[in-house]
């Protein structure tokens, strides 16, 4: 089936009217606009949608898809039982307040607390950016405003927390713009300048380590980290600590420590420093934060994302997998084709071979959730027998964009054969004109060596329709060439997909509400993707090895930011997702 092309403002108006009608049609005990959007509180609401089995519910699927053939909207609920809640048609808190504050910053140059964000006339405020994410892991979403369109000394990132009682924002952290958040409450902040004993940056760029204090509900400075190049600053260099002899040491100063003498500073060689850094800032617990540009109409985009999330939630009967999937089913609300309309992806994985089942959904111009056709291809030819790719939970799929704007996301299907072998097929999936295509392009089979010191046995195959068994076997070089040829002429696109999941008790006990579903999907949309005007850069210094942060391309390429030296400038990669 083909999806019609429609105007986003028209869709937004239709969806808003559908949701408003849904809210008004609630039975006694249901609520209208919710006071807060905290997902933790939504599952306990005692509101009801109150539709009998077979009846149409405003905001759900049309009559043609409702009735006894429709899957249950609430997992565990028997046909005819009332379903809790309807999503509010109004943007809930803290998001509404966050947008108000961002708009005040954009138009007035300051926040409600008096924090100034002024610009020179020649600078573009749209180069600044924001994110909405739970970075301190208190179960609530914070607002991050990254003010990078300014002089170096004025650049900063502010983490705002929302106070429900006062309807005000409070600053949890104010620091420089180069940040990395971790799941243990740590924030790593690079300094704007390097005035230390490693001016050439052979070791780490100077940075500070903040830790979230739950009792104070703010971040506290814990450490200041720098490196010491003994080749340049030879005086008092402690050679006895330089175990590997590279004339490079790492200095970790605790907050409030007396920096006048080395006796108050922990001085490490590389091995000791690496162990210390791993303990505090392990890469495995790095939190991905997706920033959005402060471009004109940013608030409307956020509101539109919420309206679409609410529309999907109101029609959960169409797409929610439910109890049989358990926690192995991931959900993604993401703009796959960059047209401004969000698609919903459900990916169910089970079994030792990760047998996957993927479904893709879109919103029609009337606001109805419709499953998109999935066409499985083998070397660009349609083949029904191919399994679905294991895409669920893959946050950073390699992606490419062709000259027509179609975005191709890489995926693979892995199946284990016993304990000593397995095979995988890989290729790309993409959305074009309302149809999702999964194109398998090559296959690899591997038998694991059963003895120590041996080599695994690996076979490579093309995915040609007429290739069978050994007839399709190719060399490792030919295997690599297949992928290279497929993406030739395309532009690399760096994307991030924020998959979300539901609690087991929510799924099995049937107490999940539309509000909970809506807020989860909204969270997925806010934390996914990057705009075509953004870049993903990889810092090369030792302290930020393999780290990833989203920044705005125009500001990073301006002359003012070239003084950031190798902390920011290296390896800028354009992120051309079109979404």
pLDDT for res 511 = 73
- Report yes or no on 162 lying in a domain: yes
302 vs 204: CA distance, rounded Å: 37
- Nearest to 309, CA basis, from 13, 70, 58, 91: 91
pLDDT for res 256 = 66
Question: How far is Cα of residue 391 from the mean position of the Cα atoms in its chain?
Answer: 14
pTM score of the predicted model: 0.77
Whose tokens are 């091995």? That residue is: 271
- Report yes or no on 205 lying in a domain: yes
Question: 184-188, 467-471, 512-516: lowest mean pLDDT where?
Answer: 467-471
Q: How many domains does the chain have?
A: 1
**Cis-peptide, bond into residue 103, ω within 30° of zero:** no
Pinpoint the alpha helices (H) of 315-404.
316-319
- Report yes or no on 269 lying in a domain: yes
Say if residue 419's pLDDT is above 50: yes
Query: Which helix (H) or strand (E) element contains residue 121?
Result: none
375 vs 448: CA distance, rounded Å: 33
547 vs 569: CA distance, rounded Å: 14
**pLDDT tier for residue 423 given thresholds of 50, 70 and 90:** confident
404 vs 151: CA distance, rounded Å: 38
**Dihedral over alpha carbons 234, 239, 244, 248 (to 10 degrees):** -30
pLDDT, tens only, 523-571: 999 999 754 333 333 222 223 333 334 433 333 323 223 233 323 322 2
| Boundaries of domain holding 254 | 109-287
pLDDT, tens only, 19-33: 444 433 332 233 333
276 vs 496: CA distance, rounded Å: 29
The residues that bridge with 459 in the sheet, in sequence order, are 445
pLDDT, tens only, 189-243: 999 999 999 999 999 999 999 999 999 999 999 999 999 999 999 999 999 999 9
Q: Is 578 helix (H, G, I), strand (E, B) or coil?
A: coil
pLDDT, tens only, 350-359: 776 668 899 9
Q: Is 264 helix (H, G, I), strand (E, B) or coil?
A: helix
The residues that bridge with 173 in the sheet, in sequence order, are 159
214 vs 220: CA distance, rounded Å: 10
pLDDT for res 6 = 33
Say if residue 174's pLDDT is above 60: yes
- Report yes or no on 149 lying in a domain: yes
Polymer length of the chain: 579
Question: How far is Cα of residue 518 from the mean position of the Cα atoms in its chain?
Answer: 17
292 vs 453: CA distance, rounded Å: 49
Share of the chain above pLDDT 70, in %: 71
223 vs 91: CA distance, rounded Å: 39
pLDDT, tens only, 47-96: 222 223 223 222 333 333 333 332 333 333 333 333 344 677 789 999 99
- Report yes or no on 292 lying in a domain: no
- Report yes or no on 168 lying in a domain: yes
366 vs 10: CA distance, rounded Å: 9
- Would you tell me how many other CB atoms lie within 10 Å of the CB of residue 510? 19
160 vs 173: CA distance, rounded Å: 7
**pLDDT tier for residue 466 given thresholds of 50, 70 and 90:** low
103 vs 95: CA distance, rounded Å: 12
- Nearest to 51, CA basis, from 76, 71, 26: 26
pLDDT for res 327 = 67
Helix axes of 8-24 and 298-314: crossing angle, nearest 10 degrees: 50
- Report yes or no on 80 lying in a domain: no
For the chain, the maximum distance between any two Cα atoms, rounded to a whole number of angstroms, is 83
Say if residue 156's pLDDT is above 80: yes
- Nearest to 93, CA basis, from 194, 168, 28: 168
Q: Which long-range contacts (CB under 8 A, 24 or more apart) does 252-261 make?
A: 252/223, 252/224, 252/225, 252/276, 253/223, 253/224, 253/225, 253/226, 254/222, 254/223, 255/220, 255/221, 255/222, 255/223, 255/224
pLDDT, tens only, 88-144: 778 999 999 999 999 999 999 999 999 999 877 778 888 999 999 999 999 999 999
433 vs 517: CA distance, rounded Å: 27
pLDDT for res 26 = 34
- Report yes or no on 458 lying in a domain: no
Higher local confidence (pLDDT), 462 or 75: 462
């Amino acid at each position: 089936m083909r999806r019609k092309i429609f105007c986003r403002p028209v869709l937004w108006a239709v969806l808003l009217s559908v949701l408003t009608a849904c809210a008004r049609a609630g039975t006694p005990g249901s609520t209208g606009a919710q006071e807060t959007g905290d997902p933790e509180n939504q599952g306990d609401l005692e509101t009801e949608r109150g539709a009998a089995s077979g009846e149409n519910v405003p905001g759900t699927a049309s009559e043609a898809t409702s009735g006894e053939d429709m899957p249950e909207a609430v997992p565990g609920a028997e046909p005819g039982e009332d379903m809790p809640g309807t999503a509010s048609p109004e943007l809930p808190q803290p998001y509404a307040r966050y947008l108000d504050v961002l708009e005040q910053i954009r138009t007035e140059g300051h926040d409600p607390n008096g924090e100034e964000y002024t610009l020179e006339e020649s600078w573009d405020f749209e180069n600044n950016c924001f994110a909405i994410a739970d970075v301190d892991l208190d179960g609530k979403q914070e607002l991050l405003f990254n003010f990078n369109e300014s002089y170096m000394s004025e650049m900063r990132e502010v983490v705002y927390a929302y106070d429900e009682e006062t309807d005000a924002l409070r600053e949890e952290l104010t620091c420089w713009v180069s940040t990395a958040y971790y799941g243990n409450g740590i924030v790593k902040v690079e300094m704007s300048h390097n005035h230390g004993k490693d001016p050439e940056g052979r070791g780490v760029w100077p940075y500070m380590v903040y830790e979230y204090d739950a009792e104070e509900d703010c971040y506290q400075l814990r450490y200041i980290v720098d490196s010491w190049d003994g080749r340049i600053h030879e005086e008092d260099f402690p050679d006895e600590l330089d175990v590997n002899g590279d004339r490079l040491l790492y200095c970790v100063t605790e907050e409030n420590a007396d920096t006048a003498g080395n006796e108050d500073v922990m001085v490490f060689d590389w091995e000791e420093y690496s162990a210390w850094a791993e303990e505090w800032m392990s890469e495995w617990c790095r939190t991905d934060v997706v920033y959005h540009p402060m471009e004109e109409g940013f608030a409307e985009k956020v509101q539109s994302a919420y309206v679409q999330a609410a529309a999907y939630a109101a029609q959960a009967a169409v797409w929610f997998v439910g109890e049989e999937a358990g926690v192995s089913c991931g959900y993604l609300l993401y703009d796959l084709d960059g047209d401004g309309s969000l698609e919903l992806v459900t990916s169910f994985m089970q079994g030792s071979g990760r047998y996957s089942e993927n479904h893709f959904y879109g919103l029609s111009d009337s606001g109805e959730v419709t499953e998109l056709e999935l066409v499985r291809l083998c070397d660009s030819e349609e083949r029904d027998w191919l399994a679905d790719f294991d895409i669920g939970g893959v946050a950073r799929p390699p992606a490419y964009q062709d000259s027509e704007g179609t975005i191709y996301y890489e995926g693979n299907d892995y199946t284990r054969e016993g304990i000593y072998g397995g095979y995988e097929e890989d290729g790309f999936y993409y959305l074009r004109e309302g149809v999702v295509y999964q194109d398998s392009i090559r296959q690899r089979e591997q038998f694991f060596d059963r003895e120590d010191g041996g080599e695994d046995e690996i076979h490579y195959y093309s995915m040609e329709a007429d290739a069978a068994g050994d007839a399709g076997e190719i060399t490792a070089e030919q295997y690599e060439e297949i992928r290279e040829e497929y993406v030739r002429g395309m532009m690399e696109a760096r994307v991030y997909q924020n998959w979300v999941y539901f609690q087991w008790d929510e799924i099995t006990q049937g107490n999940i509400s539309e509000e909970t579903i809506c807020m989860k999907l909204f969270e997925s949309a806010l934390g996914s993707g990057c705009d075509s005007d953004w870049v993903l850069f990889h810092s090369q210094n030792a302290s930020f090895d393999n780290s990833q942060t989203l920044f705005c391309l125009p500001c990073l390429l301006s002359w003012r930011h070239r003084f950031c030296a190798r902390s920011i400038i290296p390896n800028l990669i354009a992120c051309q997702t079109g979404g």
